[in-house]
Amino acid sequence: MISPEYTYPEGAAAFPHNGLVGIAGLAPHEIWFLLDEAEQWVELNRNAQKHREVLSGLTIINAFFENSTRTLLSFEIAGKRLGADVVNMAVATSSVKKGETLIDTAMTLNAMRADAIVIRHASSGAVQLIADKVDCPVLNAGDGQHEHPTQALLDALTIRHAKRAFNGLRVTICGDILHSRVARSNILCLTSLGADVRVCAPPALMPADIERMNVQVFHDFDAALTGADVVMMLRLQMERMEGQFIPSPREYRHLYGLSMERLAKAQPDALVMHPGPMNRGIEIESDVADLAGRSQITTQVEMGVAIRMACLDVLTRRGRKAEGWA
Partner 1 sequence: MNTHAPLTVTNGRLLLPGGEIVPGAIRSEDGFITAIGPDVTPQPGDLVFEAAGKLVTPGLVDLGVFEIDKPAFHFGGITRAALMPDQNTPLDIPSRVRFAAQSGKPDFWVHPLAGATRELKGEALAEIALMREAGARAVATGRRWIGDSGTMLRLLHYTAMLGLTVIAHAEDGGIVGKAVATSGEMATRLGLPSAPAKAEALAIARDIALAELAGAAIHFRNVTTAAGLDLVRAAKVRGLKVTAGVSPAYFMLSDLAVAQFRTFAHLSPPLRSEDDRKAVIAAVADGTIDVIGSGHDPRGPEDKRLPFADSAPGMAGAETLLPLTLNLVRDGVIPIGRAFDLLAANPARLLGADAGRLAVGAEADIAVVDPDRPWIVDSDKMAASAGNTPFDKQPVQGRVLALFKGGVTVRTKKVRPA
Q: How many CB atoms lie within 10 A of CB 258?
A: 25
Closest listed residue to residue 79, CA positions, set 50, 104, 111, 100? 50
Let me know if 105 is a catalytic residue.
no
Q: How many CB atoms lie within 10 A of CB 35?
A: 25
Could you say which of 62, 71, 105, 128 contacts partner 1 (CB under 8 A)? Answer: 128
Ramachandran quadrant class, 240 (left: phi over 0; alpha: psi -120 to 50; beta: rest)? alpha
Let me know if 7 is a catalytic residue.
no
Residues 29-88 that bind partner 1 (CB under 8 A): none
Query: Which entry of 98, 212, 254, 321 is annotated as an active-site residue?
Result: 98
Stretch that binds partner 1, among 52-60, 141-149, 229-237, 283-291 (CB under 8 A): 141-149
Let me know if 120 is a catalytic residue.
yes
Contact mark string toward partner 1, 3..32, x via CB under 8 A: ---------------------x--------
Where would I find the beta strands (DSSP E) of 127-270?
138-143, 170-174, 196-200, 215-218, 230-233
Helix, coil or strand: residue 292: coil
Compute the C-alpha angle 277/281/284, nearest 5°.
60
- Angle, helices 149-163/297-316, rounded to nearest 10 degrees: 120
Q: Say whether residue 134 binds partner 1 (CB under 8 A).
A: no
Nearer to partner 1 by Cβ, of 137 and 142: the residue is 142
Q: Say whether residue 123 binds partner 1 (CB under 8 A).
A: yes
Residues 146-175 that bind partner 1 (CB under 8 A): 146-147
Query: Which entry of 81, 121, 148, 308 is annotated as an active-site residue?
Result: 148
Q: Say whether residue 217 binds partner 1 (CB under 8 A).
A: no
Closest listed residue to residue 109, CA positions, set 148, 58, 60? 60
Query: For binding to partner 1 (CB under 8 A), which residues are involved?
Result: 24, 101-103, 121, 123-126, 128-129, 143-147, 181, 184, 207-210, 212-213, 242-243
Annotated binding site for carbamoyl phosphate: 70-71, 120, 148, 151, 276-277
